[in-house]
Amino acid sequence: MPMNTDVVGAKSSNTSLMIKRIVAYTVLILLVIVSLFPFYLLIINATRGRSQPGIRWVPDHFLITNFKNLFKGTTAVAYGSVWRSLANSLFISGCTSLLSVYFSALTAYAIHVYHFKLRKFADTFILIVMMVPTQASAIGFYQFMSKLGLTDTYVPLIVPAIAAPATYYFMKQYMASALPLEIVEAARIDGCGEFKTFNKIVTPILKPAFAVQIIFTFVTNWNNYFMPRLILESKSKYTIPLVLNAMRYAGPQEKDVGMFSLYIVIAILPVVVVYLCLSKFIIRGVALGSVKG
Amino acid sequence: MANLKKVLAGSLSLCLAASMFTACGSTDSSSTSDGKSGSESKAGNGTGISDNKDRINTAELHGVDSSDESKNTLTIYCWNTEFKSRLDKYYPQGTSMELEYNELEDGSKEVKSINGVTLNWVQIENEGNAYQTKLDDALKAQQDSTEKVDMFLMEADYALKYANGDVALSVQDIGITEDDMSEMYQYTKDVATDTNTGELKGLSWQATPGLFMYNADIAKEVLGTDDPAEVQEYVKDWDTFTETAAKMKEKGYFMVSGFDDAYRCYSNNMSSPWVTDGKITVDPQIKAWVDQTKDYTDKGYNNKTSLWDEAWVAGQKIDGGVFGYFFSTWGIPFTLLPNTVDEAIKADNSNAVEGNGGYGRWRATEGPQAYYWGGTWICGAIDSDNQDIVADIMRVMTCNKDVAKAITDGEQDYTNNKAAIKELIDGGYSNPFLGGQDHLSLLTAAADKIDLSNKLSAYDQGCNEKFQGAMKDYFLGNVGSYEEALENFKKNITDLYGNLECDF
Amino acid sequence: MKRKSISYAKWGYIFLIPFFVVYIIFSLYPLFQTFYYSFMDYVKDQGAVGGGWTRQAVEVTPEFCGLKNYSAIFSSGSDLLQAFWNTIIMWLVGFIPQIAVSLILAVWFTDLRLKIKAQGFFKAVIYLPNVIMASAFAFLFYSLFSRGGAIYDIIKIPLLESAWGSRGIVGLINFILWYGNTTILLMAAIMGVDPSLYESAQIDGATSNQTFWKITIPLIKPIMSFVLVTSMIGGLQMYDVPALLTKDMGTPNRKLMTVVMIIQSNKQGNIGKASALCVIIFAISAVVGMLLMFASADKDGKKKKKKRG
């Protein structure tokens, strides 16, 4: 009996599965086109001249000119150095993503695992402050940082990453579905210290969540314009978005769309690489089923 | 700790301040003595600020002494590379200072240091008042800082802010005489004159009178002539200009490209500035621009573009379908020429010939109303620790006739030196881009008519940008009436300038 | 058991120290300062600068002014409500397709029967737009849709000159930027669901529709609410895309003006008013966010209690 139904079910579901597949692949291919189109345009634009009326589907011949212009000494003076900005952004984004992921997990762990008086309060507090838009405190933030003499340093850009409510929230949610308290208890029975339990046993389980949040935080900081603009002053400390902005708003006499596009292409390359590397890691990490513990 | 330091620095500078005022009161301040010795010798024996309230802007150093590094660095604030490229190329031709150079990638040279003082260019984008904000911060901190700004550039739209504030050196104070400046256009001085004290605070190497530049092919087809003098008859005043626009429309051409093209003609002829006594008013000339542009938009006399957009640029191709553009002197080298040619002009000018796109097929004429557009003024920053170099740069770049001639010759800039321009015209000047036309004579005629007295306020940049933006909605029919658009302007401008009120 | 958990409680506090110390210094204190400024008459004259001895005349000191800034914001002449409305609309225009498409993709990718091939490729590609700066995106789309742009040349409609056209473009940009991100989050959630649940559902003969609504959706609700809340907060802060597309003007007819754009334009000249706007956007975010949170937390809590009980 069960065999019978299975065969019938398999046949009808095979056809519907085929249709579903066709639909799925069509949609996916469409989305791939939509997603890659901006990249394609940027790459084409990077080979075009300083003024770019209309659209172009095949590369032009200005790529080398744009390269030369981009790495010219005068360009660095005018907008900031390309290499320098890449290094600066790499440093800031690297530090922030690591700090934010580790400390958010630690904070979430505290709420998830321990029972203490202020637990509920702390949790609600962090959830509420997650609603606070960055802009809301920006005015006070700048004034305070300049009072501390921290403007034009990386401290106000990196250290606040330790308190990242959104990352905390993600970690907490992830722990709720993937970190059974039994594991912690088992570690305690084995005589493992609390801090060691977190570092040695819990963090490996959180790897997929780490990977996801590292990418997000990294990209967010890589592309962050608002805070660096507020804090940084000297060109040698400029991050990519600041240099990009300076180029984009160059006067009409100097605006070089070709060079600008090339810079964008160069600026997004590292993030693409980081993402592609980590994306494999995420999938594998999740597939390995560390969640099951 | 940091606070303590600030308090100390503050009290120290206050001490020096008091001493400086007594010092300034007794001496004629036209000397260019470096402030360092002054502040050292007289520190501590001063009493009051009130002694010299009306003569605070001097070449003396008021604040804390600067670091050695600052003394060996000439810090210049700017928003684009125009002045730097002029300085690199032409300053060496007129100075007796000792220069060192850097070789650039393209084979040209840039000035690395003047008399051993290294140049430090601080370029900040103009967009969204960013340049002004950063410059203000630097100048406010100037006295208490050991790193001094030496020089900064400014535009006419906000020049008054820096001319009236005590942040720019009076040019007489650093030794530039009336004689040096005798060939300059008066309006370029008016822009940078302190309206309270009458002191001149900044100088410009260029005058920026505007012309109407038109497509000769279209002129010939529609008007039957491309001769500038005859075409001028078709654009001599706004009524005639509009009649011609109708003719253009009939033949399928646009008279002008977009909404803002004629704006400067009107805004430079206002009867009162945008802001007087903290109140914003909309001048009848501005209203006239609105009415005309609305009329043109409705009738299809323009192509509904905005300044600098791709569509606006596209109209500058010789077959772009737009009859003319209002341009100042820099409009040719920076905008019209690169936009109209098919193949970018090579370094050796070998393809700067008729047949390369629109090269040689544009002409210039005076147009309906004299106006100016743009320009850059050089200021010495108060408390600069390199005032001798600042003075020399100003003198060479803005007062030297030979340098002015060379700039006009090489860059098509209309320089701020009547004698230089006259010599060029007398020498049979002709501009191949304009088919051999001598447009310098036209620019001279236009420059003579520019009168800026009582037309400027410190808020013009914001007012112009926000007003043009708000009116675009009216032209396109996105708001029902002019009044509605004006209401949006009111919101935009009072958000930007919270201290102002609207008088409309 | 109870005693044991008490003995570990101090570790809860210890692990919270870094977060709270940093938060108080870098966010809470500045936030209080912003509150403080919102009750101050703090208007800067941008047309004046003083660097010499008249500095005092130019620099203003903030003065207490009660609720003046707030009453100015809510006066009849202000269009804060319109700006708030604009922000919500632009967020929804992007968010609704974003969550729908992401959910479908996440289910497809994790559907064991569907077996989508080249998943690594697809996932990588759909996320990629997120690495481009919003400003670069705005620049690109402006050049496509404005007069003379490639898409304008094809459709001959100046979309950027109509309110709904430009709102649609803002939504489209936000959609392309964020749908990959959301898909990854939802996928992580779906894959976190115990596979045995799916297996037993399959054995019980559940259709994929049933599995989706009965198993997947309830179990990924926490992540869904996370996506909703973070996206909404991001949406309320919407600034760079509309600002860059409209050159800070919110054209046409201020229909693209967002709350943060108003804050930004006030920031230089009227610090008091800008601060008051910050406080308002804070209050709105907090209220809406908490409503959403409690709505989803209630059910969660019940379930957890059941499980633990």
In this structure, is the dihedral angle defined by the CA atoms of residues C260, C265, C266 and C268, taken in order, positive or negative?
Answer: positive
d(CA B275, CA B406): 38
What pLDDT does residue B42 have? 34
**Which amino acid is it at A51?**
S
| Contacting partners of chain C (3+ CB pairs under 8 A) | A, B
B196 in the same domain as B91: yes
Q: Where are the domains of chain A?
A: 2-45, 69-292
Q: Do B105 and A250 touch (CB under 8 A)?
A: no
B89 in the same domain as B39: no
Give me the CATH topology for the region A69-292: MetI-like fold (1.10.3720)
What pLDDT does residue B28 have? 38
Q: Which residues pair with B502 in a beta bridge?
A: B280
Q: What is the CA radius of gyration of chain A?
A: 25
Phi, psi of A91 (to 5 degrees): -60, -50
d(CA A139, CA A142): 6
What pLDDT does residue A53 have? 74
Q: Which residues pair with B437 in a beta bridge?
A: B431
Contacts of B196 (CB under 8 A, 6+ apart): B164
The domain boundary residue, chosen from B389, B406, B427: B427
| Under 8 Å between Cβ of C159 and C165 | yes
Lowest-confidence pick of A55-64, A146-155, C124-133: C124-133
Residue A251 predicted with pLDDT over 80: no
Inside any domain, residue B103: yes
Residue B129 contacts C, CB cutoff 8 Å = yes
Candidates 3.40.50.1460, 1.10.3720.10, 1.10.540.10, 3.30.70.100; correct CATH number of C79-267? 1.10.3720.10
What pLDDT does residue B43 have? 35
| Residue ranges in chain B modelled with pLDDT below 50 | 1-53
pLDDT-based confidence at residue C47 (cuts at 50, 70, 90): confident
Residue A141 predicted with pLDDT over 70: yes
- Say which of B110, B124, B334 has its CB closest to residue A252: B334
Q: Do C148 and B479 touch (CB under 8 A)?
A: no
- Tell me the count of A-C CB pairs closer than 8 A: 282
Q: Do B310 and A254 touch (CB under 8 A)?
A: no
B250 in the same domain as B188: no
Residue A172 predicted with pLDDT over 90: no
What pLDDT does residue C175 have? 96
In this prediction the ipTM stands at: 0.86
Residues of B whose CB is below 8 A from C269: 495-499
The mean predicted confidence, pLDDT, of chain C is 84
Residue whose C-alpha is closest to residue B415's, from B183, B242, B241: B183
Quick count: other Cβ atoms within 10 Å of Cβ C301? 11
What pLDDT does residue A147 have? 87
Q: Do C252 and B309 touch (CB under 8 A)?
A: no
In this structure, is the dihedral angle defined by the CA atoms of residues A169, A175, A181 and A184, taken in order, positive or negative?
Answer: negative
- Say which of A35, A143, A248 has its CB closest to residue C176: A35
pLDDT tens per residue, range C113-131: 788 888 888 888 888 888 8
pLDDT tens per residue, range A3-41: 444 444 555 668 888 998 999 999 999 999 999 999 999
Q: Do B125 and A245 touch (CB under 8 A)?
A: yes
B331 in the same domain as B417: no
**Which amino acid is it at C81?**
L
| Under 8 Å between Cβ of C209 and C200 | no
Enumerate the H helices of chain A as residue ranges: 2-45, 63-70, 73-79, 82-113, 119-130, 134-147, 155-158, 165-178, 181-189, 194-196, 203-205, 207-222, 226-231, 240-248, 257-287
Residue whose C-alpha is closest to residue A289's, from C191, B57, B126: C191
pLDDT tens per residue, range C249-291: 898 999 999 998 998 888 888 889 999 998 888 888 888 777 7
What pLDDT does residue B366 have? 93
Domain count, chain B: 3
Q: How close is the nearest chain B Cα to the Cα of C90, in Å?
A: 19
What pLDDT does residue A289 have? 32
Q: What is the CA radius of gyration of chain B?
A: 25
Q: Do A250 and B125 touch (CB under 8 A)?
A: yes
| Under 8 Å between Cβ of B119 and B112 | yes
Q: Where are the domains of chain C?
A: 2-58, 79-267
pLDDT tens per residue, range C215-225: 888 888 877 87
pLDDT-based confidence at residue A62 (cuts at 50, 70, 90): very high
What pLDDT does residue C110 have? 83
What pLDDT does residue C302 have? 47
Residue B2 contacts A, CB cutoff 8 Å = yes
DSSP label at residue B325:
E
Q: Which residues pair with B5 in a beta bridge?
A: none
What pLDDT does residue B7 have? 45
Q: Do B344 and A53 touch (CB under 8 A)?
A: no
**Full residue range of the structural domain in which residue B24 is found:** 2-55
Higher pLDDT, A64 or C59: A64
Residue B219 contacts C, CB cutoff 8 Å = no
Helix axes C217-236, A165-178, angle to 10 degrees: 180
Both tokens of B88, joined, read 């690199």
DSSP label at residue B149:
-
Q: Do C251 and B479 touch (CB under 8 A)?
A: no
Residue A155 contacts B, CB cutoff 8 Å = no
Which residue reads 């909309």 in tokens? Answer: B282
Residue A254 contacts B, CB cutoff 8 Å = yes
Q: Do B473 and C248 touch (CB under 8 A)?
A: no
Q: How close is the nearest chain B Cα to the Cα of A149, in Å?
A: 7
Inside any domain, residue B98: yes
Inside any domain, residue B244: yes
What pLDDT does residue C215 have? 85
- Say which of C131, C223, C286 has its CB closest to residue A219: C131
What pLDDT does residue B51 have? 40
Residue B305 contacts C, CB cutoff 8 Å = yes
DSSP label at residue B241:
H
Q: What is the CATH number of the domain that holds B327?
A: 3.40.190.10
B354 in the same domain as B483: yes
| Under 8 Å between Cβ of C171 and C245 | no
Q: Could you give the C-alpha distances from C73 to A41, B488, C292, in angstroms and in order? A: 42, 15, 27
Mutate to test the interface with A, among B7, B81, B312 (most CBs of A within 10 A): B81
Inside any domain, residue B352: yes
Chain centroid offset of residue C5 CA: 37
Higher pLDDT, C22 or A272: C22
The domain boundary residue, chosen from B402, B427, B452: B427
Instruction: Write the DSSP string, C96-130.
Output: HHHHHHHHHHHHHHH-TTT--TTHHHHHHHHHGGG
Q: B109 to chain A: nearest residue by CA?
A: A74
B101 in the same domain as B45: no
Which residue reads 């940093």 in tokens? Answer: C22
pLDDT tens per residue, range C71-117: 988 887 778 899 999 999 999 999 999 999 999 999 898 887 788 88
A49-61 mean pLDDT: 84
The two most distant CA atoms of chain C are separated, in Å, by: 85
Contacts of B380 (CB under 8 A, 6+ apart): B150, B151, B168, B169, B171, B174, B387, B390, B391, B394
Residues of B whose CB is below 8 A from A68: 105
What pLDDT does residue A222 have? 92
Residue B351: exposed, middle, or buried by beta-carbon count in 10 A (0-12, 13-18, 19+)? middle
**Which amino acid is it at C67?**
L
A266-292 mean pLDDT: 64
Residues of C whose CB is below 8 A from B166: 50-54
Residue A58 predicted with pLDDT over 60: yes
| Under 8 Å between Cβ of B187 and B451 | yes
Q: Do B167 and C48 touch (CB under 8 A)?
A: no
pLDDT-based confidence at residue A273 (cuts at 50, 70, 90): confident
Q: Which of residues 91-150 of B touch A (CB under 8 A)?
A: 102, 104-106, 110, 121-128, 130, 134
Inside any domain, residue B62: no
Residue C65 contacts B, CB cutoff 8 Å = no
Q: Could you give the C-alpha distances from B62 to B67, B389, B463, in angstroms and in order? A: 15, 19, 34
What pLDDT does residue C125 have? 87
Residue B158 contacts C, CB cutoff 8 Å = yes
